[in-house]
Amino acid sequence: MKKITALLSGSFAVAGLVAQEKPNIVLIYADDIGYGDLSCYGATRVQTPNVDALANNGVRFRNAHSAAATSTPSRYGMFTGEYPWRRKGTGVAAGDAALIINPKRYTLPKMMQEAGYTTGAVGKWHLGMGAETGKQNWNERVAPGPYEIGFDYSYIMAATGDRVPCVYMENQRAVGVDPKDPIQVSYTQNFPGERTGKDNPELLTKLRPSHGHDMAVVNGISRIGFMKGGKSALWEDENIADSITVHAVRFIERNKDKPFFLYFGTNDIHVPRYPHERFRGKTDMGHRGDAIVQFDWSVGEVVRALKEAGVYDNTLIIITSDNGPVVDDGYEDEAVERLKDHKPWGPFRGGKYSTFEAGTRVPFIVHWTGNVRAGVSDALVSQIDMLATFSELVGKDISEAKLSDSQKQLSAWLGNDFQGRNYVIGAAGSLTVLTKDWKYIEPSKGNPYNAHTNTELGNNPKDQLFNMTIDRGEYDNVATKNPLMVRFLKQILEEEKAKGIGLEL
Ligand code: NG6
Ligand code: CA
């Protein structure tokens, strides 16, 4: 008996040692995947077994938020720890936008580097590149970019799938570009002789736009922005998931012997949705559903790579999304027609672009073998806390000023604390304050409804207050009945605003 106890305590000591090694971090950042789009969050007409396996052995959050209801500001907030509404120019970035994160700024990847990690960014970037908007030479190294804000390695799509330039950038150089056919990009005017989706719809062999997206034609799909040249470097939409997943896997293989931090921003399920043929028809929901299956495949490949590299148990994996779902985001891909009873937004109101919950309440799964309390958590958590929370995880002390709006929430993220934040500020057309029980939406004169995307934007010239404990669908505005609560939440918002807009670095 004594012997067994000794043995047991011995193995615990070893387990303790293992846990003390710096864990790798893999952040899988989906694009536009909604709260209800994954089977572990209740979807039934699409199966996501690879994501679900992580959810089953990890913590699955039901009250987790992106910093905003679109991509650029959410990513800005996640990488800097600063609410994007504090900074001008953090709205959806054009494909030729300059880098929107000041290289002088402290960032999540810089913190990881200081803690001894090798850092990599693979996939969707959408934070701008270069020093000046519209002035990039896409045939040379474009800087500043991922490297200047803390990523040792990058293999990215500069903006989005629907924005030119439609090329991969590896370490900030276009991959496969032929100097005899240089890339030219403009967001103001077309290049003489270049055909567009608007004037030459017969070129749109793969997808036609439903709104916007009628400029440069690349791979039978028209985009936002004009582009000329770079033929040998152009991506094929059906191969994007393969290409970026392979590079994520390679990054893991190459760095398996030292601590690494990988940001893997998938193109799925942003428009234009054009999954590889091996995923087509995997759901009855058309490209949008099949793109979710493709996303799940990418997750499976990353998990497999971690296991094959022998680092799976010592890697903390996060799966989340940059904003809520949208069904028709500008291409005729049958997403609307085939949606039927699938609810991408889960039980919430609104969607991408919206101040209502579905704009920012996103799937959020934390998996770390043996180090999380597995199960479901209703703690209020936000991607804005990644900087502070990972600093806690890797034992890196940084000043309050550098943390900005980011809070240390490791205990909640590992499933041990069910409270999380006291409140989080959300941003879409206007600002919101969410506590565990209440949601306040600032008055806004903005459009209440986006007819193109069929989204309720949540804008209302009056105060809106919802009791989230009994009305998480935000249908019953109880602001006039609860003036004290409105005053209390407005006060929080005023105090947050008073901390500063456009703060000095
Ligand atoms: C919109 C695009 C939409 C999408 C979005 C950004 C049109 C008509 N719509 O302007 O398709 O690209 O910007 O999405 O152009 S995000 O997820 O990257 O924020
Ligand atoms: Ca997005």
Task: Kindly report, residue by residue over 187-208, the tens digit of the pLDDT.
Answer: 999 999 999 999 999 999 999 9
Of all protein residues, the one whose alpha carbon is nearest to atom 18 of ligand 1 is: 71
Question: Token pair for residue 360?
Answer: 């920012």
pLDDT category at 7 given cuts 50, 70, 90 is very low
pLDDT category at 396 given cuts 50, 70, 90 is very high
- Mutation test residue for ligand 1: of 166, 198, 224, the one with most atoms within 8 Å of CB: 224
pLDDT category at 4 given cuts 50, 70, 90 is very low
Distance between CA atoms of residues 99 and 158, nearest Å: 10
Average pLDDT over residues 281-305: 99
Taking a C-beta distance cutoff of 8 angstroms, is the pair 464, 478 a contact? no
User: What is the number of the ligand closest to the CA of 66?
Assistant: 2
Say if residue 344's pLDDT is above 90: yes
Taking a C-beta distance cutoff of 8 angstroms, is the pair 500, 86 a contact? yes
Q: What whole-number percentage of the chain has pLDDT above 90? A: 95
Res 44: pLDDT: 98
Q: What is the 3-state secondary structure (H, E, C) of 105-140?
A: CCCHHHHHHHCCCEEEEEEECCCCCCCCCCCCCCCC
- Mutation test residue for ligand 1: of 125, 157, 198, 270, the one with most atoms within 8 Å of CB: 270
Quote the ligand 2 centre to 31 CA distance (angstroms): 4
Average pLDDT over residues 18-26: 78
Quote the ligand 2 centre to 427 CA distance (angstroms): 14
Give the Cβ contact number of residue 329 at 10 Å. Answer: 26
Q: DSSP secondary-structure letter at 273?
A: P
Taking a C-beta distance cutoff of 8 angstroms, is the pair 417, 377 a contact? no
Average pLDDT over residues 235-243: 98
Taking a C-beta distance cutoff of 8 angstroms, is the pair 156, 122 a contact? yes
φ/ψ bin of 426: left (φ > 0), alpha (ψ from -120 to 50), beta (otherwise)? beta
pLDDT category at 13 given cuts 50, 70, 90 is very low
Res 297: pLDDT: 99
**71-121 confidence digits (pLDDT tens):** 999 999 999 999 999 999 999 999 999 999 999 999 999 999 999 999 999
The SS3 assignment for 298 reads helix
Distance between CA atoms of residues 381 and 360, nearest Å: 11
Taking a C-beta distance cutoff of 8 angstroms, is the pair 301, 253 a contact? no
Question: Largest alpha-carbon pair distance within the chain?
Answer: 85
pLDDT category at 505 given cuts 50, 70, 90 is confident
CA angle (250 as vertex; 247, 254 as ends), nearest 5: 140
User: What is the number of the ligand closest to the CA of 214?
Assistant: 1
Domains annotated on the chain, with CATH: 21-172+236-413 (3.40.720.10), 424-499 (3.30.1120.10)
- Mutation test residue for ligand 1: of 92, 163, 273, 453, the one with most atoms within 8 Å of CB: 92
Atom of ligand 1 nearest to the CA of 322: 17
Query: Which residues have a beta carbon within 5 Å of ligand 2, which is an ion?
Result: 31-32, 71, 322-323
Report which residue type is found at 156. Answer: I
Closest CA to 139 of 238, 248, 231: 231
Res 413: pLDDT: 98
Taking a C-beta distance cutoff of 8 angstroms, is the pair 323, 362 a contact? yes
Res 504: pLDDT: 87
Of all protein residues, the one whose alpha carbon is nearest to atom 7 of ligand 1 is: 212
Say if residue 15's pLDDT is above 80: no
Beta-carbon contacts of 407 under 8 Å, excluding residues fewer than 6 positions away, are 384, 385, 388, 389, 421
Q: What's the whole-number average pLDDT of the chain?
A: 95
Average pLDDT over residues 416-428: 97
**pTM greater than the 0.85 cutoff:** yes
Distance between CA atoms of residues 67 and 16, nearest Å: 35
pLDDT category at 172 given cuts 50, 70, 90 is very high
Taking a C-beta distance cutoff of 8 angstroms, is the pair 420, 409 a contact? yes
Taking a C-beta distance cutoff of 8 angstroms, is the pair 449, 349 a contact? no
Average pLDDT over residues 405-431: 97
Q: What whole-number percentage of the chain has pLDDT above 70? A: 96
**107-123 confidence digits (pLDDT tens):** 999 999 999 999 999 99
Phi, psi of 445 (to 5 degrees): -85, 0
Res 21: pLDDT: 78
Res 149: pLDDT: 98
Distance between CA atoms of residues 10 and 4, nearest Å: 10
Res 2: pLDDT: 37
Average pLDDT over residues 328-356: 98
Distance between CA atoms of residues 207 and 144, nearest Å: 33
φ/ψ bin of 440: left (φ > 0), alpha (ψ from -120 to 50), beta (otherwise)? beta
Say if residue 12's pLDDT is above 70: no
In this structure, the residues whose C-beta lies within 6 A of any atom of ligand 1 are 31-32, 70-71, 92, 126, 160, 162, 211-213, 224, 270-271, 323, 329-330
Taking a C-beta distance cutoff of 8 angstroms, is the pair 248, 209 a contact? no
Average pLDDT over residues 51-80: 98
Atom of ligand 1 nearest to the CA of 72: 19
pLDDT category at 52 given cuts 50, 70, 90 is very high
Distance between CA atoms of residues 320 and 77, nearest Å: 14
Range in 9-13, 28-32, 177-181, 428-432 with the lowest mean pLDDT: 9-13
Atom of ligand 1 nearest to the CA of 32: 17
Distance between CA atoms of residues 240 and 235, nearest Å: 7
Task: Mark out the alpha helices in 43-164 (DSSP H runs).
Answer: 49-56, 71-80, 108-114
Res 10: pLDDT: 33
